Structure 1
């Protein structure tokens, strides 16, 4: 099975159903295949060995995704925010790419085609390759990892990985014809690929929001009668703030709201649940290397945790749920042995959807099938997974390992704190100092010493931030992951400047 066959299934099973764009004038399943087939023929005529996508959200994205599949070449969506140097570096690694973009000047020397032009190519009689000739082991998608703690790498997703995820999490044609999903995650992220595939496979109409603002998101939900949506945590924080400013609840037709991509505090989720009383919340945890979600905290899990007087159950609002049936998740100690419930270790995963492969370094999957996510966390006695953060984020202060997430969870409970992050800053005496970065709620301005005392009372002195920095916003990737390197550089630069005075 491969993505070309998925495209055929969607077109054959839901050929007359509008699946992309607005309720009127959108693309049907049949027209989606026709445009993807035309795109595939164009890719073949260009002699391209991969299809690069450099643009924003919109119907051109899934058309290009399926066009690459029908042409039998890898699909490579790139971050349109990359600097000229970064983009040049990525493009220099490509042999014969065709680039779908409205900014051809950014990829000099490459063959390009505009987004609208690509979606309006002359019809082709057939795709260059039969779907039955495309092997499941061929590369379907290449994605650049976010590189928040290291240089970006090219993650390899083969057809079998994406199809395994799809079959393990979505039922074909299960959506009602009136269902619609709003996609506002960036197109170069695994969530965008997974969203396109899973929603089209289920028969749910996909509506795209090119540039996110909370106001536009809420207005689009109303206008397009959106029933499902996915956001990253920073978006959710802003949507909650916008709702409170408007003084009203969300529409009842929004039945499901998924979030993921980065850690989000239980306090934010509890507040969102109260503002979205008719909406089922889903927290999805996954990685680029696992072809999307591997664990899910479902709507009933959210409701049970919010209503429970048991602290252990309520704490699950801060978890990412339990493993999908198609994968196994364990937490291992340094010797590779499973940790008991509640003990923090390295999160590992195995299953058919797990790729764990990079162009630069090959497969990172161990001989026993386990893939190290490089995330730290623990499982509770019922199998709920709590993610602390990246292993590289651990602060080593005076020889003691300190998890930033533990301090962040405490800071997030302060009434004046909207968002926060904690990072280790180099220090000659202690090895690393603890620096906390706080975005206050509107109209609030907490004193650094007040926040330090708040943490000290609830943890202990060794975990109290040495520095508290008040910011207007945290530096994040478009998918909501905090750029801790920028925070560390900010403090280090300020300390060097102060030392020179």
Structure 2
């Protein structure tokens, strides 16, 4: 199918080609032609088509599309920056953050999305390394020295008249890598050049025009930011809360009649710990880390086959999408590459690995990042980007991630992937969450250490853990050390900070 035919078919299926008032449709298309497909253009096309539709609901109230456009345009006019300047955003999910993010893009400056979990020294490194001209921050986060800062609640960024003309150069959003240790790198995100990137996602994840979408993940995270992009393109009603709480998430979804939830996998784990309550969800889309153990099946058994898992990275955007049917047919799969995306597993000789054989995963699509802001390079081969994982493809073209390339250990001459043991232990009914890492070993070179968090009231011994692995895996996969913890250290996006785990 040609690219144009695919886009038209997908837009029709998802309600984006439904008839509207002719003058509004003309204004909608004109806005995209003038402003492009970035945040500023997508907001303007949505406002031209549905100015009175509720665009955003947070804990302070709601904004229509016309109001969101007015506020972001005024902020853009008041920003003391020039196109290409970098503006840091250190905010929790809120209308103020969205207004600021779109305002920065409207001005042609580059928004830098900052993880709210960074330490003071890391934040100072970001200010320096990204050469921030301005920082917009919530009051709860003190501004570091060396940058002009504006609190979101101060009202200092307001103007009598808003920006009405597009910048000479569209802003480029910069997403910071996780930064679990040291200073995170800035990855420059490309601006979509048309409808195809959106359609590649909504072809596999059935999000429709006008959907009510709760983004539970933090907007500084690549997946939640993508959710914001999709929400504006779909003229959706976006529902935000400053902090994630599993019980409040279920309440928010029910109260605001949300049919879609954008989250990260650890949030699903916490939701599954809550008592069941009926919700209007028809799509739950997660990304950001692997779905541990049998979480996908357990979640769908409770809430229905509504779970979609996008596998990708800050640098590659997406590699594959697993639908409910994929995860039912092949538990543990990361799904299939969507339209316009290629995934290959390359062996040590640089050639595609045979079906079912583990190799380094490389990805190609039109939304690969434009590079790191510090000039560092990511390996590419024949236009495909190394994603940092190793995995394999099955005969149906489904992708399986076997682990991080730098996590693999060699124990007694055997290659061992900690993720395989993590998933095995996560299926134990007594285990709430688990992390497995490699540790140095005098006899075998390296062995595994398992860090286990038990469910309340559950009991499990070190020998129980080792015996379970021994029954299901080879001897070199059996953890040398088993450490029981009250919780795993995680960053603000839910990723386990493995370097922060105690030494066994």
For residues 195 and 372 of structure 2, the distance between their equivalents in structure 1, rounded to whole angstroms, comes to: 19
Cα displacement (A) at 1:442:
2.1
Structure 2 residue aligned with 1:134, among 147, 166, 169? 169
Change (3 A) 1:81 1:409: closer
Give the secondary structure class of the aligned counterpart of 1:16.
Answer: coil
Higher helix share: 1
The answer on 1:288 being equivalent to 2:314 is yes
Task: Give the structure 2 partner of residue 199 of structure 1.
Answer: 231
Q: Distance in 2 between matches of 1:257 and 1:263?
A: 15
C-alpha contact 2:126 2:184 (8 A) present in aligned 1: no
Q: Secondary structure at the match of 2:364?
A: strand
Alpha-carbon separation, structure 2, partners of 1:406 and 1:297: 19
- Counterparts in 2 of 1:410 and 1:32: CA distance versus 1, 3 Å: same
Q: 1:169 to 1:458 in 2, by over 3 A?
A: closer
Residue-by-residue CA offset, 1:144-193 (whole Å, 9 max, x unaligned): 1013477521111132479763353348x97454x311112122211121
CA RMSD of aligned residues (A): 2.6
Equivalent of 2:86 in 50, 75, 80: 50
Q: How many angstroms does 1:362 deviate by?
A: 4.4
Equivalent residue runs for 1:215-254 within 5 Å: 215-243=247-275, 248-251=276-279, 253-254=280-281
Q: Distance in 2 between matches of 1:161 and 1:328?
A: 19
Per the alignment, residue 297 of structure 1 pairs with 322
Any residues of structure 2 matched to 1:136-215 within 5 Å, and which?
A: 140-148=172-180, 152-160=184-192, 165-170=197-202, 175=208, 177=210, 179-215=211-247
Range with greater deviation from structure 2 (398-407 or 118-127): 118-127
Q: 1:149, 1:387 → 2: CA distance?
A: 24
For 1:484 and 1:262, locate their aligned partners in 2 and report how far apart those are by CA, in whole Å.
Answer: 13
TM-score where L is the length of structure 2: 0.86
Q: Tell me the equivalent position of 2:153.
A: 116
Deviations 1:335-363 (A, max 9, x none): 22111221111111012111251112344
Matched-pair contact (CA < 8 Å) for 1:344–1:378: yes
* Whole-angstrom CA distance in 1 between matches of 2:187 and 2:344: 22
Distance 1:94 1:408, change over 3 A: closer
The whole-number CA distance in structure 1 between the counterparts of 2:156 and 2:263 is 26
Give the length in aligned residue pairs.
465
| Alignment-derived partner of residue 426 in structure 1 | 440
* Partner deviation per Cα, 1:102-160 (whole Å, 9 max, x = no partner): 34743234222222346972342434x525x335xxx5111110134775211111324
Q: Secondary structure at the match of 1:475?
A: coil
Q: Which 5+ residue runs of structure 2 have no aligned equivalent?
A: 1-35
Q: Secondary structure at the match of 1:449?
A: helix
How much does 1:200 deviate? 1.7
Change (3 A) 1:56 1:174: closer
Task: Give the TM-score, by structure 1 length.
Answer: 0.86
Match for 2:72 among 36, 39, 44?
Answer: 36
Matched residue of 1:10: which SS? helix
| Cα deviation, residue 446, structure 1 | 0.4
Q: Is the 8 A contact 2:355 2:394 kept in 1?
A: yes
The answer as to 2:504 corresponding to 1:477 is: no
User: Closer, same or farther in 2 for the Cα pair 1:386/1:174, shift >3 Å?
Assistant: closer
Distance in 2 (CA, whole Å) between partners of 1:332 and 1:325 is 21
Per the alignment, in what secondary structure is the counterpart of residue 98 of structure 2? helix
